[in-house]
């Protein structure tokens, strides 16, 4: 009997769970680390960080199959899952219940942020080569506007939260953490990871400011 | 013997509904009660003299109860916004007015009586029983289970199908597939039984389909509201592990 493979439901849910960490979550960590090097200045960032990545072979394939498609699948199926709740958000004041809500709201928030973020960097770079050539100045011109900096800080924090909390619930889903104690301890580990990534990301954003 | 209990006037607000398809409305009652009384005894007092605060004589309130000692699960309802059995809700511990509503997520039959067939349907779907008719070893006599394993299993055997965990679950609802936490916890229990183990794969396949384990959103309200303090989220974690291994065995062969 092989009902679990014959029925796609389980595989789809687990695929959604896995994609959130690999490759999407892993890319987020790499992306924050990569951009934290903005603090070494325009020359270092443009030539040693951005140019080095742009010169990678098969870059477009990696961007499509390792970043864009997994992200779209994770987001699309996440929205489908979201339509299946029957929730009463205010009745239960428990932490995990609040995190359940924040996970869903942050997912939607990240989608909106990514429209702005990808549109104004990667997609704009296709039409306007000067953006790709001097990404540091382009980012600086964006982030000196207080409202745009706010959008980026919020987008960053939502993404980091979504990854850290997603990792904590993923461990329950896959059966890594079963006991309440294991779930609590790993939850605190994820809090630490989230704070660390938030610090890394904020550090990167500040590095673009004059 | 003189009555040493203090009597007081308890203010009750009850959501009423005459038919499954009619609009709900509210009635308020004032009931003479001891502090030691529970919500069920208040409802009995209302039934004896169903006169509202405004003096109107109304139809008695309909509700379900059975054991009166928190082992049957029949009297679960929403008490001051939380799903819990009315028999173990002590009046002295409740804020007034005490607001009673039918258990959410289940179709209302009348007043506080809901149709909880979804619980039985869930238990049926996951085969929450042990087959003892067959040509296999049924461990006649006492099955051998170690004391630690027995103690862990015992926690899940206390489930009384009251439905509180399902009422509190943001993934469970009238038009939703999700089985809810209680049937899942019974899969954890039956899969651990020496004879029940024979149907482990069948139960896991049942919870790997639509509405099964993966519809859980990890909000963990269930474990907070369970009146029997059943470690439902631990069961969900353990079933996560069992289904992960089952999927690998389905993919690569059980060998």
Report residue B4's pLDDT band, with 50, 70 and 90 as the boundaries.
low
The count of other CB atoms within 10 Å of the CB of residue A6 is 11
Give me the mean pLDDT over the A202-209 stretch.
Answer: 97
The tens digit of pLDDT for each residue in A66-121 reads 999 999 999 999 999 998 888 777 889 999 999 999 999 999 999 999 999 999 99
Give me the mean pLDDT over the B37-42 stretch.
Answer: 94
Model confidence at B35: pLDDT above 80: no
Residue-range domain boundaries for chain A: 3-84+93-208
A-chain CB neighbours of B244 within 8 Å are 174-175
3-class secondary structure, B254: coil
Min Cα separation B206/chain A (Å): 8
Choose between A77 and A2: higher pLDDT: A77
B-chain CB neighbours of A89 within 8 Å are 170
What are the CB-based long-range contacts (under 8 Å, 24+) for A55-62? none
Model confidence at B144: pLDDT above 90: no
The tens digit of pLDDT for each residue in A16-29 reads 999 999 999 999 99
State chain B's mean pLDDT as an integer: 94
Q: What pLDDT does residue B1 have?
A: 47
Share of chain B above pLDDT 70, in %: 97
Give me the mean pLDDT over the B186-205 stretch.
Answer: 95
Task: Answer whether A100 sits within 8 Å of B81, measured CB to CB.
Answer: no
Model confidence at A62: pLDDT above 50: yes
CB pairs under 8 A between A and B: 129
In chain B, the domains with their CATH numbers are: 7-114 (3.10.20.30), 117-252 (1.10.1060.10)
Report residue B14's pLDDT band, with 50, 70 and 90 as the boundaries.
very high
Within 11-30 of A, beta carbons closer than 8 Å to B belong to 11, 13-14
Complex ipTM value: 0.94
Model confidence at A39: pLDDT above 60: yes
Q: What pLDDT does residue B6 have?
A: 67
Q: What pLDDT does residue A1 have?
A: 45
Choose between B204 and B3: higher pLDDT: B204
Best mutation site among A6, A106, A175, A180 for testing chain B: the one with the most B CBs within 10 Å? A175
3-class secondary structure, A166: helix
Q: What pLDDT does residue A108 have?
A: 97
Q: What pLDDT does residue A7 have?
A: 85
Q: Which residues contact B32 (CB under 8 A, 6 or more apart)?
A: B7, B8, B9, B10, B45
State chain A's mean pLDDT as an integer: 95
Contact A34, A78 (CB under 8 A): no
The count of other CB atoms within 10 Å of the CB of residue A76 is 12
Task: Answer whether B208 sits within 8 Å of A3, measured CB to CB.
Answer: yes
Q: Is A3-84+93-208 a domain of CATH 1.20.1300.10? A: yes
In order, the DSSP letters of A35-60 are HGGGGG-HHHIIIIIIHHHHT-TTHH
Q: Which residues contact B16 (CB under 8 A, 6 or more apart)?
A: B24, B25, B26, B27, B61, B111
Least CB–CB distance from A174: residue in B171, B233, B244: B244
Q: What pLDDT does residue B255 have?
A: 59
Could you give the C-alpha distances from B187 to A1, A53, A185, B5, B153, in angstroms and in order? 18, 50, 26, 45, 11
Phi, psi of A159 (to 5 degrees): -65, -45
Model confidence at B22: pLDDT above 90: yes
Rg (CA), chain A: 19
Min Cα separation A205/chain B (Å): 33
Give me the mean pLDDT over the B161-185 stretch.
Answer: 96
């Amino acid at each position: 009997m092989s009902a679990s493979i014959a029925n796609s439901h389980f595989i789809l849910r687990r695929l959604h769970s896995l994609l959130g960490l690999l490759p999407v979550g892993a890319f987020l960590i790499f992306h924050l680390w990569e951009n934290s090097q903005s603090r070494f200045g325009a020359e270092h960032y443009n030539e040693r960080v951005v140019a080095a990545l742009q010169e990678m072979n098969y870059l477009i394939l990696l961007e499509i199959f390792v970043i864009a498609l997994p992200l779209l699948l994770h987001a699309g199926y996440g929205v489908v899952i979201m339509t299946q709740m029957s929730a009463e958000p205010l009745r239960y004041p428990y932490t995990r219940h609040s995190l359940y809500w924040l996970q869903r709201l942050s997912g939607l928030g990240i989608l909106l942020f990514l429209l702005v973020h990808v549109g104004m960097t990667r997609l704009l770079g296709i039409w306007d080569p000067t953006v790709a050539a001097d990404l540091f100045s382009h980012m600086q011109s964006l982030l000196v506007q207080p409202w745009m900096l706010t959008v980026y800080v919020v987008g960053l924090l939502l993404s980091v939260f979504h990854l850290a909390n997603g990792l904590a619930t993923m461990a329950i889903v896959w059966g890594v953490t079963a006991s309440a104690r294991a779930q609590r301890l790993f939850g605190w580990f994820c809090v630490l990871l989230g704070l660390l990534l938030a610090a890394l990301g904020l550090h990167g954003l500040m590095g673009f400011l004059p | 013997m003189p009555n040493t209990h203090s009597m007081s006037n308890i203010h009750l607000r009850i959501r009423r509904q005459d038919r499954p398809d009619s609009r709900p409305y509210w009635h308020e009652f004032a009931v003479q009660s001891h502090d030691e009384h529970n919500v069920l005894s208040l409802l009995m007092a209302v039934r004896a003299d169903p006169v509202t605060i405004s003096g109107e004589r109304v139809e008695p309130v309909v509700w379900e109860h059975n054991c009166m000692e928190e082992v049957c699960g029949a009297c679960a309802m929403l008490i001051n916004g939380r799903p819990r059995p009315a028999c173990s809700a002590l009046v002295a511990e409740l804020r007034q007015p005490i607001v009673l509503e039918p258990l959410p997520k289940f179709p209302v039959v009348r007043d506080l009586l809901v149709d909880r067939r979804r619980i039985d349907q869930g238990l049926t779907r996951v085969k929450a029983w042990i087959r003892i008719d067959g040509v296999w070893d049924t461990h006649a006599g006492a099955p051998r289970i170690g004391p630690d394993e027995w103690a862990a299993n015992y926690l899940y055997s206390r489930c009384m199908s009251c439905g509180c965990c399902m009422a509190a679950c943001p993934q469970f609802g009238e038009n939703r597939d999700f089985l809810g936490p209680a049937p899942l916890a019974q899969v954890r229990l039956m899969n651990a039984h020496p004879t029940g183990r024979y149907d482990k794969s069948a139960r896991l396949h049942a919870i790997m389909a639509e509405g099964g384990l993966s519809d859980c959103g990890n909000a963990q309200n269930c474990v907070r509201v369970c009146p029997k303090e059943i470690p439902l989220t631990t069961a969900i974690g353990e079933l996560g592990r069992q289904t992960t291994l089952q999927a690998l065995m389905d993919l690569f062969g059980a060998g």
